[in-house]
């Protein structure tokens, strides 16, 4: 088993890393969502998180602007642990199209704190 603490870096080392200094920021949604990081949408109950996330996923999967912000067209995986397939079906029927590059994982089984699930996710998206 690997010792994860072998990866610990000092602030000075991290600040001065040449391989990171001149990297250009790459955004899925300009200035809102970096392309190299996972995103989690958090808000109070019944505050339209699912609707916002669905719109975000639809726009990114087609490379269309998200509320005026440019997007980078990308294959998109929407993990929904709350809504049923029926609910997502209803939402998608109210949209103009259903992009081939938009994928859904439903059923409430995926867990962020499960290392096996995270490894499977990594293998799926790479």
Specify whether the CB–CB gap between 87 and 47 falls below 8 A.
no
Closest by CA position to 26, among listed 13, 18, 35: 35
Give the integer Cα–Cα distance in Å for 117 and 124. Answer: 10
Specify whether the CB–CB gap between 20 and 13 falls below 8 A.
no
In 6-124, at which residue ranges do the beta strands (DSSP E only) sit? 27-29, 33-34, 76-79, 102-105
**Ramachandran angles phi, psi of 84, nearest 5°:** -85, 165
| Residue extents of the structural domains in the chain | 9-125
- pLDDT tens for each residue of 94-104: 888 889 999 99
Per-residue pLDDT of the chain (126 residues), as tens digits, is: 788 899 999 999 999 998 888 777 889 999 999 887 777 889 999 999 989 999 999 999 999 999 999 999 999 999 999 889 999 999 999 888 889 999 999 999 999 899 999 999 989 888
Residue with tokens 């602007």, as numbered in its chain? 65
For the full predicted model, state whether its pTM sits above 0.95: no
Specify whether the CB–CB gap between 57 and 76 falls below 8 A.
yes
Q: 27-29 and 33-34: which strand pairing?
A: antiparallel
């Amino acid at each position: 088993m690997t010792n994860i603490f072998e990866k610990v870096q000092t602030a000075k080392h991290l600040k001065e890393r040449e391989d990171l200094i001149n990297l250009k920021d790459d955004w899925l949604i300009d200035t809102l969502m970096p392309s190299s990081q996972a995103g989690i949408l958090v808000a109070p109950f019944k505050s339209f998180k699912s609707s916002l996330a669905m719109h975000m996923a639809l726009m990114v999967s087609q490379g269309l602007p998200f509320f005026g912000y440019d997007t980078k067209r990308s294959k998109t995986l929407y993990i929904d642990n709350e809504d049923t397939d029926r609910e997502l079906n209803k939402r998608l029927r109210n949209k103009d199209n259903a992009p081939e590059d938009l994928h859904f994982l439903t059923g409430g089984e995926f867990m962020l704190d499960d290392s096996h699930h995270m490894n499977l996710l990594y293998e799926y998206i790479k």
